[in-house]
C-alpha cells in the first residue's frame, strides 16, 4: 500500500527544503499564469504534483481550490490529497496523473494548439468515439460541480489532461472555481477568451451556472473541430445547434443548467 508522505504535514518553513526531505523533484513548472510554482515529486514510491503559492493572488487561488475540492468529487477531477502552509504561502498536493495537458499555459499562444504534433492536434485527430467519450466525461464532471453549487471560472483546454494510451481525460487546475452565483466585483474574471462568456468581462454582472454552460459549450465546439479556426466541425448539425444555444450571448437564451445542456447533447448525439 502506497504511503502518502504528506499525510501529517501541516506547516513547513520553506517548500523547497520540505520537498528535498520527502523525496526527489523530477520536474519543475514555472512561468505559470497564476504565479504559482509546481513540482513533480517522487516520494514513497509514487509521483505527486505539488503546487505552491507565495503571492497574494496565488494564495487566494489555492484557497479557492481547497474550498472547491472539499465540496466537489468526481472520478474525472484530480483529487486534492493534502494542503499545508509555509512561512510565506500555501501548498496543495495532488496525485500525479499520466497524460498531457491539451494546451499548456506556459507555451506561446501563437499556433501552439495547431502544431501537428501538439497535444490538441493529436486529440482532435482521434476517432470520433474517443472524442465523444472525453466530452461526456467533461460534462459529467460538471454535473458534480453544478450539484455542489459551484460555477466554472478559468475553465479551458489547459485544465484538460489527456492520456493518449488509456484514452482518458481528467480535469486539473480548477483553482478559480467558486461557489455561485456571485456578482463580478472586478473588471473581468481570469480565463481564456476562447472559453469566456460575455458577462465575465462586465463588472457588476451575475456569474451563475449559465456561465458554466457557456464554457462547456465552447469546449464542445473547440474539441469537436478538426482545426483551430472553427471551420472543420466534426459533429452533427443537431450537436452544433446545442452548442449555439449553450453559447448564446444573452444568458437568458442559454440552457438554464448543466443538466439541461447534458440532456440536449445526449439527445443530439
Reported as a single tens digit per residue, the pLDDT across 197-219 is 999 999 999 999 999 999 999 99
**Cα–Cα distance measured from residue 262 to residue 222, given in angstroms and rounded to the nearest whole number:** 17
pLDDT-based confidence at residue 108 (cuts at 50, 70, 90): very low
Residue 3: pLDDT above 80? no
Q: Alpha helices, DSSP H only, in the chain?
A: 15-22, 56-71, 119-124, 128-147, 209-223, 237-246, 258-268
Average pLDDT over residues 145-167: 97
Mean of per-residue pLDDT scores for the chain: 93
Closest CA to 190 of 64, 66, 96: 64
**Cα–Cα distance measured from residue 128 to residue 235, given in angstroms and rounded to the nearest whole number:** 8
> What pLDDT does residue 241 have?
98
pLDDT-based confidence at residue 105 (cuts at 50, 70, 90): low
**Cα–Cα distance measured from residue 68 to residue 268, given in angstroms and rounded to the nearest whole number:** 31
pLDDT-based confidence at residue 147 (cuts at 50, 70, 90): very high
Would you say the C-alpha torsion 95, 195, 36, 89 has a positive or negative sign?
negative
pLDDT tens digit sequence for 232-247: 999 999 999 999 999 9
Closest CA to 159 of 114, 100, 231: 100
Q: What one-character-per-residue DSSP string does 113-171 give? A: TTSTTSHHHHHHTS-HHHHHHHHHHHHHHHHHHHHTTEE--S-SGGGEEEETTTTEEEE
Average pLDDT over residues 41-45: 93
pLDDT-based confidence at residue 54 (cuts at 50, 70, 90): confident
Amino acid at each position: 500500500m502506497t504511503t502518502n508522505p504528506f499525510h501529517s504535514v501541516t506547516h513547513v518553513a520553506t517548500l523547497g527544503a520540505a520537498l528535498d526531505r520527502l523525496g526527489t523533484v523530477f520536474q519543475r513548472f514555472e512561468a505559470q499564469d497564476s504565479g504559482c510554482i509546481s513540482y513533480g515529486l517522487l516520494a514513497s514510491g509514487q509521483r505527486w504534483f505539488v503546487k505552491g503559492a507565495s503571492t497574494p493572488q496565488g494564495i487566494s487561488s489555492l484557497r479557492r481550490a481547497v474550498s472547491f475540492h472539499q465540496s466537489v468529487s468526481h472520478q474525472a477531477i484530480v483529487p486534492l490529497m493534502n494542503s499545508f502552509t509555509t512561512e510565506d504561502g500555501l501548498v496543495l498536493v495532488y496525485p500525479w496523473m499520466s497524460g498531457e495537458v491539451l494546451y499548456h499555459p506556459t507555451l506561446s499562444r501563437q499556433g501552439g494548439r495547431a502544431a501537428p504534433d501538439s497535444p490538441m492536434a493529436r486529440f482532435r485527430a482521434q476517432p470520433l468515439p474517443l472524442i465523444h467519450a472525453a466530452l461526456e466525461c467533461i460534462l459529467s464532471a460538471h454535473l458534480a460541480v453544478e450539484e455542489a453549487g459551484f460555477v466554472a471560472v478559468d475553465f479551458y483546454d489547459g485544465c484538460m489532461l489527456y492520456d493518449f494510451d488509456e484514452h482518458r481525460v481528467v480535469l486539473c487546475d480548477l483553482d478559480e472555481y467558486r461557489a455561485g452565483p456571485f456578482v463580478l466585483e472586478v473588471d473581468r474574471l481570469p480565463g481564456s477568451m476562447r472559453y469566456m462568456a460575455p458577462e465575465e468581462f462586465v463588472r457588476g454582472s451575475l456569474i451563475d451556472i449559465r456561465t458554466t454552460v457557456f464554457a462547456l459549450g465552447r469546449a464542445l465546439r473547440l474539441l469537436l473541430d478538426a482545426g483551430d479556426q472553427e471551420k472543420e466541425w466534426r459533429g452533427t448539425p443537431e450537436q452544433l445547434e446545442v452548442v449555439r444555444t449553450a453559447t448564446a450571448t444573452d444568458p437568458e437564451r442559454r440552457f438554464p443548467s448543466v443538466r439541461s445542456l447534458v440532456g440536449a447533447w445526449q439527445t443530439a448525439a
